[in-house]
Amino acid sequence: MPINILMPALSPTMEEGTLAKWIKKEGDNISAGDVIAEIETDKATMEFEAVDEGILGKIVVPEGTEGVKVNDLIAVLLEEGESEGDIDAGAEPAAPPAPKPEAKTEAAAPAAAAPAAAAPAAAPAAPKADDGGRIFASPLARRIAREKGIDLTQVKGTGPHGRIVKADVESARAQPDQSAAPAAAQAAAAPRSAAPQGMSAETVAKMYADREYTELPLDGMRKTIAARLSEAKQTIPHFYLRRDIRLDALMKFRGELNAKLEARGVKLSVNDFIIKACALALQDVPGCNAVWAGDRVLQLKPSDVAVAVAIEGGLFTPVLRDAHAKTLSALSAEMKDLAARARDRKLAPHEYQGGSFAISNLGMMGVENFDAVINPPHASILAVGAGVKKPVVNAEGEIEVATVMSVTLSVDHRVIDGALGAEFLAAIKGYLEEPLNMLA
C-alpha cells in the first residue's frame, strides 16, 4: 500500500509552512533518514527527513507552495513491488480530511528524530495479524520491532490509515498501561475555555474605512508571537522587581580582559557578562531555575539561559545551555553564532526551545528601562536597559558620577514568590557589581 507523506510539524507552534524545495525527485529511491525536502516554518528553514523507505512515486505539492497545512498530503512513497498505478487506489486526495487525533503523534515529532543510518537492502517481511490480514507498518518500524522482539500485533499504529511507525514501536517498549494514567494527566488533556478575543479584522477595518492605510498580512512568525504573548499576559500572573546596577567595576574589568584577549580575536560584550551573571545566580537561587508545567513546577539543575535576538519581522530566543559552566569567551562565541544563525533563520528547534529564564536587552538601543513579557513556560525574564551616567551617593555620603544600568525582573508568581525573586535579582546585581566573582 502506498505511503502518504504528510506535511510535518517541525516546531511545536507550526500550523502551516512553505514547501521551499524538493531535494528528492519523483522516481528517486528513499531511505529512512534521507533529507527529501526543505520546509520553511514560522521560525526557520529546516530539512525534512524521511521516516520510511521506498521510491518517491508522486510529488503532490510542488516546491514554492506557501500555506501548506500540517498533515496535508505532500507526496506519495511506493514500497517494494508497488508502481504508480497503485497510487490512485491507495493515496488520499491532495486535500485530505482532518486526521484523527492520534495521527498527530507522527506528524508532531521533529523530523530530526528520524535516524540517519542507511537502511539495509531488504526490509523485514510485513507481519500478519491473528486473522491472517496484513499489519501495515513502515519498514523502519518493522526492523526496530524485530531487533527489540516487539510483537507488532500488540502495537497500535498512529500513522496514516493506522500504519505503525517508528514512534509507535519505540513507545511500545516502555509505554505504561494507559488505564493507570494519573487523574492530573487526564485533567491536563481537557480542553481549556476559550480566551476572550479582541475586535475582528472586519470591525477594525470599518473603523478606518475613511483613512488611507496599507494592509500587512501576518506571516507565520508574527502569528506565533502574537499568540504566545497573548497567552502569556492572559495566563501568567506577572509581577515586577526593579534594581539599579552600577557598572563601573564591570566596565573596567571588561576593558582589562578584552586587552588580554585581543590577540585571540575575542571581544567580550556587556551582554556576555550579564548572561554569565544570570547563569550563576540561577545556581545560587535554584528555586528560580524553574518552569511552570501546568499542574507542577519543574526545577532545573543546569542554567539554560535564553537570550532574545531581534530579527526582521520578529525575534528568536536561542538558549545557551549549561551557561553557568562555560567561560565568558565560550559564551561570547556561542552567542555570536546563535545570533547570526537566528537572523538567517537557520536555528534548529532544540536551539531555541527550553531554558527556564530569558534575557531581553534593549540597552544597546538606548532604552533605559522597560518591562518584558515572560516567555512560557519560563518563570522569569530580565529586561536590561542602557548603562547611563548618573549622579549617585557613594558609601561616604558624597555625590559622584557613576554608570548605572536599570534592570527589571518579570516574574511568574505561580513559580516564584516576591522574596525569592528579590534574592535572585540581588544575586545578579552582586555578580555584575563585583565581576571578579564570576571567575571564582
CATH code: domain of residue 66: 2.40.50.100
Domain residues for the domain of 15 are: 3-78
Q: Where does residue 294 fall: left (phi above 0), alpha (psi -120 to 50 degrees), or beta otherwise?
A: left
- Looking at the structure, do residues 144 and 285 belong to the same domain, yes or no? no
Give me the sheet containing 319-320, strands edge to edge: 238-246, 399-412, 380-393, 357-361, 305-307, 319-320
pLDDT at 54: 87
Q: Indicate whether 353 belongs to any domain.
A: yes
Closest C-alpha to 96, from 135, 68, 77: 68
Interatomic CA distance for residues 71 and 247, integer angstroms = 52
Q: Indicate whether 357 belongs to any domain.
A: yes
Q: Indicate whether 256 belongs to any domain.
A: yes
Interatomic CA distance for residues 357 and 300, integer angstroms = 11
pLDDT at 387: 95
pLDDT at 92: 44
- Looking at the structure, do residues 298 and 159 belong to the same domain, yes or no? no
Residues 6+ apart with CB under 8 A from 115: 32, 33, 140, 166
Q: Are 61 and 68 in contact (CB under 8 A)?
A: yes
Cell digits of residue 344: 538567517
- Looking at the structure, do residues 161 and 49 belong to the same domain, yes or no? no
**Domain containing residue 161: CATH number:** 4.10.320.10
- Looking at the structure, do residues 245 and 333 belong to the same domain, yes or no? yes
- Looking at the structure, do residues 271 and 150 belong to the same domain, yes or no? no
User: In angstroms, what CA-CA distances link 436 with 251, 322, 328?
Assistant: 12, 20, 12
The three-state secondary structure class of 136 is coil
- Looking at the structure, do residues 157 and 243 belong to the same domain, yes or no? no
Q: Indicate whether 88 belongs to any domain.
A: no
- Looking at the structure, do residues 161 and 248 belong to the same domain, yes or no? no
- Looking at the structure, do residues 160 and 305 belong to the same domain, yes or no? no
Q: Are 359 and 380 in contact (CB under 8 A)?
A: no
pLDDT at 139: 64
Q: Indicate whether 287 belongs to any domain.
A: yes
Q: Does the active-site annotation cover 350?
A: no
Name the percent of the chain in helix, strand, coil, to the closest 5.
35, 25, 40
**Which residue among the candidates 238, 324, 378, 413 is catalytic per the annotation?**
413
- Looking at the structure, do residues 65 and 155 belong to the same domain, yes or no? no
Three-class secondary structure assignment of 333-400? HHHHHHHHHHHCCCCCHHHHCCCCEEEEECHHHCCCCCCCCCCCCECEEEEEEEEEEEEEECCCCCEE
pTM of the entire predicted model: 0.62
Closest C-alpha to 300, from 316, 279, 317: 279
Interatomic CA distance for residues 125 and 364, integer angstroms = 62
Q: Which residue matches cell numbers 506577572?
A: 238
Interatomic CA distance for residues 403 and 391, integer angstroms = 9
Q: Indicate whether 183 belongs to any domain.
A: no
Cell digits of residue 2: 502506498
Domain count, the chain: 3
Q: Indicate whether 123 belongs to any domain.
A: no
- Looking at the structure, do residues 29 and 157 belong to the same domain, yes or no? no
Show the CA angle centred on residue 303, arms to residues 302 and 307, nearest 5°: 145
Picking from 38, 56, 78, the residue at the C-terminal end of a domain is: 78
- Looking at the structure, do residues 60 and 153 belong to the same domain, yes or no? no
pLDDT at 129: 53
- Looking at the structure, do residues 147 and 263 belong to the same domain, yes or no? no
Interatomic CA distance for residues 312 and 214, integer angstroms = 19
Interatomic CA distance for residues 138 and 126, integer angstroms = 9
**Domain containing residue 426: CATH number:** 3.30.559.10
Interatomic CA distance for residues 379 and 292, integer angstroms = 7
Picking from 49, 78, 107, the residue at the C-terminal end of a domain is: 78
In a 10 Å sphere around its CB, with 0-12 CB exposed, 13-18 middle and 19+ buried, how is residue 112 labelled? middle
Residue-by-residue pLDDT tens, the chain, 440 positions: 778 899 988 776 678 888 989 999 988 988 888 899 999 876 677 888 888 888 898 999 999 898 899 889 999 988 876 777 667 544 444 344 344 344 333 333 333 333 333 333 333 444 555 445 557 776 677 777 877 788 888 888 776 557 787 777 777 754 444 433 343 444 444 444 444 567 888 888 889 999 999 998 887 778 888 888 888 989 999 999 999 999 999 999 999 999 999 989 999 999 999 999 999 999 999 999 999 999 999 999 999 999 999 988 888 899 999 999 999 999 999 999 999 999 988 888 889 999 999 999 999 899 999 999 999 999 999 999 999 999 999 889 999 999 999 999 999 999 999 999 999 999 999 999 999 999 87
Q: Indicate whether 94 belongs to any domain.
A: no
pLDDT at 191: 45
Picking from 36, 54, 78, the residue at the C-terminal end of a domain is: 78
